[in-house]
Amino acid sequence: MQDAKHAHPGASGKGKAREDSHWQLGWWELHPLIDQAKRPVAWSRSSIIFSAHPTQPLVLARHFSSSRQFVIPSPGPLVTSPTSYDPPTVISISPSGDWLFAYFPGRGGDGVACLWKRAFQLDSWSVRDFWTTPLGAGIVTAAWTNHSREWVINDAGQASRSPPRGPNVPVNSSVLLLITQAQFINACFLPPYVPSLKILKAPLMFPSKVKDNEPTPVEFLPDKPGAGGRRICVSAAIGFCYNDTAFLVATRSHLLPSHRPPSADAMDIGLPIDLTRPDALDERLSCDSEIWGEELVIDVCEVGIQIDHSNALNLGTRPLPPVFHAHPHLTDLSFFAIPPESPASLSPNAKSPSLDVDEQWESSLLLSTSDRAGRDTPAGVAISQNRALVCCMSPSNAPSARTSVHPLPRRRAGLVVPASTVQETPKGDLSRALCLALMSRESPSDIIHVLTLPSTSLHNAVTTLYNTLCILAANANGLAEMWLVEMLGVITEVYLGKARYSQGTEKANLTAQWKTAHDVCSMEALNTAFEDCQDGDAYDLDAIWQLVGLSTWFIDFLERLLKDCVAFNDETVSLAEVNTENGEKADDSPTPLPTMPAASPILIHAIHPYFFKHMLTAIRHVKRFRDHIGRLSAKGENTQIAKDVLMDAIDCSGIHLDAMIPLLTEIMQIIKAPPDHLRRCLTLCAPIPAVLPYLKQSVEKIVNSKVIDRPKLFIKASDLVDGVSQMSLTDHYKTKDTDVVTKGLLLGRGTEMCCVRCGGKSDLGDGKVAGHISRRWRQWEMMWATRCVCGGGWTRSTSS
């Protein structure tokens, strides 16, 4: 990395300009590094940054990059006596992102360790358990087991998974490992469906075996043999290796005087020492020596964890020979595990790792204000979940404590895709990282943030999305549509973010593109709702109002699509020169990847088979639901009103669903665009120039058929009535906030959830409508309790 304000060695200048071109570090700015005053920070897989408050015992949280900020609730002791504790020194998030741990040291007393559990919303956390730690046995570091097997993609674009890493524990639970100042390891285990937290303790300085449901040793500070002092651990690291269930613990200790209290029966003869203690004189004299302080060795211990069939935890330790490290002021310890590519062997031609600049990687700028260039020394660092960004925390005692996020260096060589697809190279290897994020079920927010920056051109963003689709298609293993819905969510967020920094026609196109991607996500959710509420040819009438709401939204979508079909068919621009033969030749002669739609983005539903299939499925559901409701006799006022609303919405739409189903089935079998053209259309979520002949053929069949009643499609009865009173009931309805999941009106109860990806709001209830409870509908709602239809996470609405 290089600093944005770092001057070239050959730069020259005079006066103030020359002084500002170089770093102006003062000793006070480096003093926190000498004192090892670190600020803990953790970046979760759901893209939440957890950090310590500079002065108070609080854990701060911020979702990146929606900037949603909140404070984690504190346990009881911190609420009743906040001045008795310092800010947290250890913050650790579980691999799943559902558990959070923090340790708050006491100010001259016991510390507090706390464990939180996350609810459905990203910003909803509750204290699961907390416990106190005695003075001298505070927690130094923390780590979690159950690391998922990572996906990797080689230079040929083939995806594979790394070997397992760490102990074998149940999939639905993790073990929290804590290293204390007393050189002990604490294993915290919360078995499924067990309310209490199990904690096993084992020493790291001598071999031990500890079993569950047996007395555990009490933590104590071990004495240094022959020195008369006590060892206190100040730095530790936990390392998990591939294909190994055991793991290593490395610790660095300080040697301190024992400070044992004098004996109660000491003989008081006026001397300043306790003669009843043989080593008292030696301790008094040794206080002036140089034996106290940081030890020049790194202790290493091998630890094994085993969980049997009864969920009983067993813990064992085996110390290994220490590693001599002659350099004092060790700032940190870390393990780095590399997946094995071949059996290990010693070769004289092997090249050892080096810290020299690697030309295969791009340099990354560290941006800062002009008055702080080169002076913001980080006291805490966290890497984002997909290794695209780094979060740096300034020291707590800095003049202005700040949190900054910087891009990490990326490889210069982009993914090499086949020559028959695209010629452009994506920016760095973001397409590879985005593909890995989707495969690993990680939040791609950090990668999308880079793609939506104004400094990233629209061409680079589109090319990255296209190459990601190429990689996913090559690794689909026969399931071509396995990742498409997740990819549509990413496309929604990318184009929504690019639209914020665009203007004019480009902004209008990007807005239409992300809305088109969001519509197909909603359509897929609609189809699952009808499937869950379907019982043969009938539907659950307890969810009649919810299904009517989804049907009304879908009919409105079809009206917008058919209106654009009519407009496209009536365009005066001649497309005679663009014929099907030219479109077929384009498959053999690659053209530059377009970045602008060739037609209205919603028209992709008339050409792309994925969009086409979901639309046709939704039409069948809505038609079957209408037929089912139409055959029913009125059993009550509520059912009759819902029936009338549905019939009016469909009959007044100007769309003949009966004729539309066979027509679309015929079109889907006739229109066969080349796969790469369809992939490019999916990248833009809009038609591209190469598919215009196919689109024209599809639109002509739709417009010239009997599925459209143009007068009803373009002129609504409500518009004629509202024109007299100068009031539009339709516009008033559309200005209301709509639930992004159920497509109904938000109730405004102050309990709305907000999607961090698309910004949509939802008020998912308990399935009760007019006193009825639909179990089928409630089960469908539970699918969206943790994520929006576009794949984004939920946070509590700021208006709540």
pLDDT score of 239 more than 90: yes
What is the per-residue pLDDT across 590-649, written as a single tens digit (0 to 9) for each? 578 899 999 999 999 999 999 999 999 999 999 999 998 888 776 666 778 888 888 888
- Per DSSP (E only), the strands in 224-288 are 229-240, 247-257
Cis, peptide link before residue 67, omega less than 30° from 0: no
Q: Is residue 481 very low, low, confident or very high in pLDDT (cuts 50, 70, 90)? A: confident
Q: What was the pLDDT predicted at 420?
A: 38
Q: What was the pLDDT predicted at 59?
A: 97
Q: Is residue 65 very low, low, confident or very high in pLDDT (cuts 50, 70, 90)? A: confident
Which of the two residues, 14 and 202, has the higher pLDDT score? 202
Q: What are 27's two structure tokens?
A: 């000793």
Q: What was the pLDDT predicted at 285?
A: 42
- Per DSSP (E only), the strands in 265-345 are 293-294, 297-307, 313-324
Query: What average pLDDT does the chain have?
Result: 82
**Beta carbons within 8 Å of 567's beta carbon, 6+ residues apart:** 600
- DSSP output for 763-782: ----SEETTEE-HHHHHHHH
Which of the two residues, 771 and 245, has the higher pLDDT score? 245
Nearest alpha-carbon partner for 592 in 699, 462, 407, 504: 462
pLDDT score of 701 more than 50: yes
DSSP designation for 456 = S
What is the per-residue pLDDT across 289-312, written as a single tens digit (0 to 9) for each? 567 888 889 999 999 998 877 778
300 forms beta bridges with: 250, 320
**Residue whose token pair is 């497309």:** 575
Q: What are 371's two structure tokens?
A: 């008055």
pLDDT score of 6 more than 90: no
Strand pairing category for 99-104 and 111-118? antiparallel
H or E segment to which residue 710 belongs? helix 710-714
Strand pairing category for 229-240 and 99-104? unpaired
Which of the two residues, 347 and 273, has the higher pLDDT score? 347
Lowest-confidence region among 342-351, 559-568, 601-610? 342-351
Q: What was the pLDDT predicted at 636?
A: 63
69 forms beta bridges with: 62
Determine how many CB atoms are found less than 10 A away from the CB of residue 162.
17
> Helices 657-670 and 609-631 sit at what angle, rounded to 10 degrees?
160
Q: Is residue 2 very low, low, confident or very high in pLDDT (cuts 50, 70, 90)? A: very low
- DSSP output for 566-593: HHHHT-SS--TTS-HHHHHHTTTS--PP
295 within 8 A of 253, measured Cβ to Cβ: yes
Average pLDDT for 255-268: 54
What is the per-residue pLDDT across 429-461, written as a single tens digit (0 to 9) for each? 899 999 999 999 999 999 999 999 998 999 999
What is the per-residue pLDDT across 177-186, written as a single tens digit (0 to 9) for each? 999 999 999 9
What is the rounded CA–CA span in Å between residue 76 and residue 502? Answer: 48
794 forms beta bridges with: 755
Tell me how long the chain is.
Answer: 800
Lowest-confidence region among 488-502, 585-599, 666-680? 585-599
Rg for the chain, CA atoms, rounded: 32
pLDDT score of 222 more than 80: no
Q: Is 157 left (phi over 0), alpha (psi -120 to 50) or beta?
A: left
pLDDT score of 266 more than 80: no
